[in-house]
């Protein structure tokens, strides 16, 4: 049986989550496996004591994640948006192709058809929902790129494992695909065909498609309460993550030495050790809510995010407790009042 994009993404998220869950089990005989997974996940201050290990890279190349994320998310957003605008039944202006199959194959004729014949209302709503989720992701990765360049001041000694680096590249490639995986193959094929048509025929190949901003905005106005509540949850986490990153970035400015660390304070740092991770979980929970909660692939993505960040936060919390004798006793690792 041939595996499609959806099945491959689901398998990838499961494969990424299971080792973390196994390593998190409180079993003494899993100690070696826990250390192995932790070795791959360590970075920054937590890796200082392990800087002699091989296969490490400077943590400042974190920016690679977000350069890739911005480029890839923007491409998918543009292609999926044009695909949604052109193919869905949201609007019903004439469209000069016999059917979707002949259009994607590059064969057109003189007969005029309407967009409702190309895609059902249900699929039309789903493809615009994918565009909405990609818009949220675009807002997230643009801010993360800005913070990496202008907010964080990584120590020259900060390192991360090469496996963590490759995992980050995979993550920011797979997440945008996950948010539009149902339509991504068709949308990318559509975009490739449009570019090919433009190269071969020039602007004359695009003259039959008229663009109206109102027709582009209307589908978002028709989104349900679930999508807008999800967007509010996303924005709540987004704002707090930026605040926490600003606090972390300011610590380096006030440190007296290159490798000197101080206890972060302010915002959610007053209740958890890794509030930026907590905010990340809230951000992706907002995406799950906005998706309607019916897409298993997005749930598997969320499971990976939660397991990975909880695992990393637990190690960060242990590092703080070992580093500072006066570390606030009321703080927990990541989930307020729980762990």
Q: What pLDDT does 191 receive?
A: 80
Question: What is the rounded CA–CA span in Å between residue 245 and residue 83?
Answer: 36
Residue 329 DSSP class: T
State residue 202's pLDDT score: 63
Global pTM reads: 0.84
User: For each of the chain's 339 residues, which pLDDT tens digit applies?
Assistant: 456 899 999 999 999 999 999 998 888 888 888 888 887 777 766 665 444 567 777 777 888 999 999 999 999 999 998 888 887 644 444 433 334 444 445 544 433 333 434 556 677 788 899 999 999 999 999 999 999 988 887 777 777 888 888 999 999 999 999 999 988 888 888 788 877 776 776 655 554 555 667 777 888 888 889 999 999 999 999 999 999 999 998 886 655 455 578 899 999 999 999 999 999 999 999 999 999 999 999 999 999 999 999 999 999 999 999 999 899 989 999 999 887
In this predicted structure, what is the pLDDT of residue 300? 98
Six-digit token pair at 105? 């194959």
> What is the per-residue pLDDT for 207?
46
Quick one: pLDDT at residue 139? 97
List of residues 6+ apart from 237 with CB closer than 8 A? 279, 280, 281, 282, 283, 285, 286
CB 158 within 8 A of CB 73: no
Dist. CA 22–CA 113, nearest whole Å: 55
pLDDT for the residue numbered 133? 97
The C-alpha atoms of residue 149 and residue 63 are separated, in whole angstroms, by 7
pLDDT attached to residue 235: 98
Q: What angle do CA 232, 238, 241 make, to 5 degrees?
A: 145
Where along the chain do its domains lie? 42-223, 224-339
Instruction: For 311-320, give one letter per residue: b (16+ CB within 10 A) or e.
Output: bbbbbbbebb
């Amino acid at each position: 049986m041939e595996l499609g994009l959806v099945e491959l993404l689901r398998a990838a998220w499961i494969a990424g989550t299971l080792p973390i869950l196994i390593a998190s089990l409180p079993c003494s005989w899993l100690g070696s496996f826990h250390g192995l997974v932790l070795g791959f996940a360590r970075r920054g201050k937590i890796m200082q004591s392990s800087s002699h290990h091989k296969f490490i890279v400077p943590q400042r190349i974190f920016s690679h994640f977000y350069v890739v994320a911005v480029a890839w998310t923007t491409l998918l957003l543009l292609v999926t948006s044009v695909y949604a605008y052109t193919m869905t039944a949201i609007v019903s202006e004439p469209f000069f192709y016999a059917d979707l199959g002949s259009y994607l194959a590059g064969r057109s004729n003189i007969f005029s058809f309407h967009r409702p014949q190309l895609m059902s209302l249900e699929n039309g709503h789903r493809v615009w929902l994918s565009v909405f989720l990609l818009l949220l992701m675009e807002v997230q990765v643009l801010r993360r790129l800005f913070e990496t360049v202008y907010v964080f001041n990584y120590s020259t000694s900060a390192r991360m494992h090469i496996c963590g680096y490759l995992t980050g590249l995979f993550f920011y490639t797979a997440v945008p695909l996950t948010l539009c995986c149902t339509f991504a193959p068709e949308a990318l094929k559509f975009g490739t065909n449009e570019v090919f048509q433009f190269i071969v025929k020039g602007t004359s190949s695009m003259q039959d498609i008229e663009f109206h901003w109102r027709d582009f905005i209307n589908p978002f106005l028709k989104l349900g309460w679930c999508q807008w509540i999800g967007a509010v949850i996303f924005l709540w986490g987004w704002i707090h993550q930026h605040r926490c990153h600003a606090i972390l970035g300011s610590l380096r400015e006030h440190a007296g030495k290159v490798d000197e660390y101080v206890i972060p304070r302010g915002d959610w740092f007053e209740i958890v050790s890794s509030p930026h991770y907590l905010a990340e979980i809230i951000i992706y929970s907002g995406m799950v809510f906005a998706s309607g909660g019916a897409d298993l692939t997005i749930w598997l993505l969320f499971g990976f995010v939660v397991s990975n960040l909880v695992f990393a936060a637990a190690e960060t919390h242990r590092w703080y407790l070992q580093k500072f004798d006066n570390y606030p006793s009321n703080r927990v690792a990541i989930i307020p009042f729980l762990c």
